[in-house]
Structure 1
Amino acid sequence: MDFIPVNEPRLDGNEERYLVECVRSGWISSEGPFVARLEEGLARRMGRRHAVAVCNGSAALDAAVAALRLGPGDEVILPAHTIISCAAAIVRAGATPVLADCDPDTWNVTVEAVAARITPRTRAIMAVHIFGLPSPMQGLLALAERHGLVVIEDAAQAIGQTCNGRPCGGLGDLSCLSFYPNKHVTTGEGGMLLTDDDGLAERCRSLRNLCFQKRRFVHEELGWNFRMSNLQAAVGVAQLERLDAALVRKREMGALYRRLLAGAPGIQLPLARTADAENVYWVFGVVLDDAVPFDAEEAMARLGKAGVGTRPFFWPLHEQPVLRRLGLFAGERHPVSERIARRGFYLPGGLGTTDAQIEAAAAQLRHLLETA
């Protein structure tokens, strides 16, 4: 079998037809109608009043932090185990990221860990849904309400997922999505902000468009060009049309991996469900037991030689060299995040991945573990 990539998107719906429509109409910029269609469709799906399309998920996080006017002297609590984009948005705004460790089974932050990091300077919680299971939003939202904090919800990995029956992406004061090719809805690159607050929505729209005022080219504030093009949005509209089918397929893939890897020695499989949600398996992650005589890096190298693509778990934010050079997180330890970064990785599982590829990837992993 040929090399199995860790992700292959599916683009076999109306993507081509909508792109051709963009080209023939000449509407390829952010002014085109597909941008509004994507915003309206996702706002409905997430149960939000407003959706604001941007050029990528990191831009959504930057705009969210800026829209909430977080800055110097403000602390924002976020998971130690997440992508650096989350911390970068906070740092670029001049605010201070404060880290909380994750649960060893769900790989999401815990309410207790967040509560322990609250100080008089805390202004916000950034809740990030990790790898297909949602963060414990009911507890985090209650904690935020008790302490008068705002919640930024990063639902990039949870498009279509729910938490206690409510749509992920519909839970924060501001919620952020990413449409990178490995997401359940992709536009190639792209992102979205969602909120029920009219003022926040208007501020996000201004920030993504250079903060134009009523008189064009007159600016009272610095924003960004974070606009999404009509071409990107056209792909996203086609993808959103098939989101429910994508979620069914993701759960089928997760169930197949679980069946094929049941009883395999030396690994922790992802939880199939929690009290809040059934896993949607954005990726199928595994964590090597401590008794396995090699780490995730070595396992991924061996699987790569056997034709199986993989990706590591996120490296802990408190161990990121760029953040340490800024004087952040000196002496901090977050043991669960540290361990899963060194022992965790995920297997091929894009929407274009076939059952045969999953079977081959699982067989190679079993062989690796059984001969360790």
Structure 2
Amino acid sequence: MGDKNIALKVKREAPKNDNELNFIPVYMPDISGNEKAYVVDCLDTNWISSIGIYTEKFEKSCADFIGTPHAIGVSNGTVALHLALHCLDIGPNDEVIVPTFTYIASVNAIAQTGATPVFVDCRLEDWLLDPKDVEAKITPRTKAIMPVHLYGIICDMEAIKEIADKHNLAIVEDCAEAMGSSLNGQHAGTFGDIGTFSFFGNKTITTGEGGLVIAADGVLAARMRKVKGQGQSLDKRYWHDELGFNYRLTNICAAIGVAQIERIDAILDRKRAIARLYRELLQDTDVAFQAQRDGLVSSDWLISLLLPAHVNRDAVMQGMRDKGVDSRPVFYCAHQMPMYKLDTSFPVSEDIARRGISLPSYPALTDGDVKRVVSVLKEQM
């Protein structure tokens, strides 16, 4: 309680200087549409939990946008992953292949099923899991591959699907950062058995907290819908015939999501324009961006890059913050975390994790804001 009061007090203090007054954060959601009106409608009609018109509207809108027959809203992106794995009957004594360079939720969801996460390295050019390392890590216990489409770039799904088909493995796509990303016209999440999405406050579209699972298989989708609601029969109320979880998305969160997806095309257009401007303004430097394959249309969720090897990333980030521009490190490798620590080296992933930095990427950024970010970054390099 004390920490909360301190945080509120700090928030209310007057800016100390122009940099603090004009501070540019890494991300802010754009909630300038119908979000408030739809939330008030939930309150006025008393439909504030997981039943209501907005949950169905949001699921239908997401399904139409992604191009999938089945979309099920859940309470966040992490439980989306766990639900997917659970409904594929993955559990103790099983192994799931996952990149070590990813947000920790990808790995935690595997561990929560009782299965073992098996780490693979990434490719330097696109920072995504290396299919060659995937093939090398398959054992008789391997049940699934979890490609993670980091920062809006889609993995080499053709190679991954070939490996999965060869070894009869399931594919769970972690699309937390890839809403709006497509490869050769096919949306992220539709290449494998299940796709999962996150709608946290810093994602391309947000529900505050929320997530989504999608599947082409109607039987699998029906099971996920049932299990996310405590395993209650879809036809008989209060009859629970298998283990389930409370992973439901609230009507209020879905209402925000409906308003967000109404404007997703405009949000994506602006984010892509911001990404193009960053690349243009930084082309005279030695930074490296993720490579984008032919046929890829990225959501450009969070503009991230690698600083030159000789540059101290933490010093650069602190210097930028002192100048009123926030940034954040890319993800640390999961195999270096205490609960998953391995002595094995994953040199490419470790290099990316050490040098990577993410820049302000929210749609309300002006071109002038982007130019200021780049100017400050160049000063610190």
With the shorter chain as reference, the TM-score category is: over 0.9
| Cα displacement string for residues 141-169 of structure 1 (whole angstroms, at most 9, x for unaligned residues) | 12111111110011111101101220112
The residue aligned with 1:127 is: 147
1:157 to 159, 177, 185: 177
1:289 to 297, 308, 317: 308
Kindly indicate whether residue 357 of structure 2 is the aligned counterpart of residue 338 of structure 1. Answer: no
2:262 & 2:100 partners in 1: Cα distance? 34
Kindly indicate whether residue 319 of structure 2 is the aligned counterpart of residue 307 of structure 1. Answer: no
The residue aligned with 2:265 is: 244
1:108-123 equivalence runs, <5 A? 108-123=128-143
Equivalent pair of 2:152/2:178 in contact (CA under 8 Å): yes
**Deviation at residue 201 of structure 1 after TM alignment:** 1.1
| Cα displacement string for residues 280-338 of structure 1 (whole angstroms, at most 9, x for unaligned residues) | 3211111111132x1x22221221111111111111011011223xxxxx321111111
Equivalent pair of 1:134/1:276 in contact (CA under 8 Å): no
1:289 & 1:181 partners in 2: Cα distance? 30
**Deviation at residue 221 of structure 1 after TM alignment:** 3.2
2:279 & 2:76 partners in 1: Cα distance? 32
Equivalent pair of 1:7/1:353 in contact (CA under 8 Å): no
Equivalent pair of 1:136/1:276 in contact (CA under 8 Å): no
**Deviation at residue 355 of structure 1 after TM alignment:** 2.1
Equivalent pair of 1:7/1:352 in contact (CA under 8 Å): no
Kindly indicate whether residue 222 of structure 2 is the aligned counterpart of residue 210 of structure 1. Answer: no
Would you say how many aligned residue pairs link Structure 1 and Structure 2? 360
SS in 2 for 1:238: helix
SS in 2 for 1:3: coil
2:373 to 348, 361, 372: 361
Task: Report the AA paired with residue 346 of structure 2.
Answer: H
Moved more, 21-30 or 170-179: 21-30
Equivalent pair of 1:100/1:114 in contact (CA under 8 Å): yes
SS in 2 for 1:43: helix
| Cα displacement string for residues 200-235 of structure 1 (whole angstroms, at most 9, x for unaligned residues) | 112111221111246654544332211111110011
1:364 & 1:251 partners in 2: Cα distance? 21
The residue aligned with 1:184 is: 204
TM-score (norm 2): 0.91
Equivalent pair of 1:286/1:345 in contact (CA under 8 Å): yes
The residue aligned with 1:65 is: 85
**Deviation at residue 80 of structure 1 after TM alignment:** 1.0
The residue aligned with 2:278 is: 257
Kindly indicate whether residue 328 of structure 2 is the aligned counterpart of residue 349 of structure 1. Answer: no
Where in structure 1 do 4 or more consecutive aligned residues deviate above 6 Å?
none
The residue aligned with 1:136 is: 156
1:219 & 1:13 partners in 2: Cα distance? 39
Moved more, 279-288 or 210-219: 210-219
SS in 2 for 1:338: helix
RMSD: 1.5
The residue aligned with 1:327 is: none
Equivalent pair of 1:109/1:135 in contact (CA under 8 Å): yes
1:279 & 1:289 partners in 2: Cα distance? 24
2:141 & 2:324 partners in 1: Cα distance? 49
1:55 & 1:353 partners in 2: Cα distance? 28
The residue aligned with 2:188 is: 168
Moved more, 215-224 or 174-183: 215-224
Task: Report the AA paired with residue 130 of structure 1.
Answer: L
The residue aligned with 1:226 is: 247
Task: Report the AA paired with residue 169 of structure 2.
Answer: L
Equivalent pair of 2:101/2:121 in contact (CA under 8 Å): yes
| Cα displacement string for residues 111-150 of structure 1 (whole angstroms, at most 9, x for unaligned residues) | 1121111112111000110112111111111211111111
Task: Report the AA paired with residue 331 of structure 2.
Answer: F
The residue aligned with 2:48 is: 28
SS in 2 for 1:53: strand
Equivalent pair of 1:297/1:342 in contact (CA under 8 Å): no
241 and 215 in structure 1: CA distance in 2 versus 1, 3 angstrom threshold: closer
For structure 2, the residue ranges without an aligned partner over 5 or more in a row are 1-18
For structure 1, the residue ranges without an aligned partner over 5 or more in a row are 325-329
| Cα displacement string for residues 21-74 of structure 1 (whole angstroms, at most 9, x for unaligned residues) | 212222111111110111111112222121110000001011011111101121
The residue aligned with 1:15 is: 35
The residue aligned with 2:13 is: none
Equivalent pair of 1:270/1:284 in contact (CA under 8 Å): no
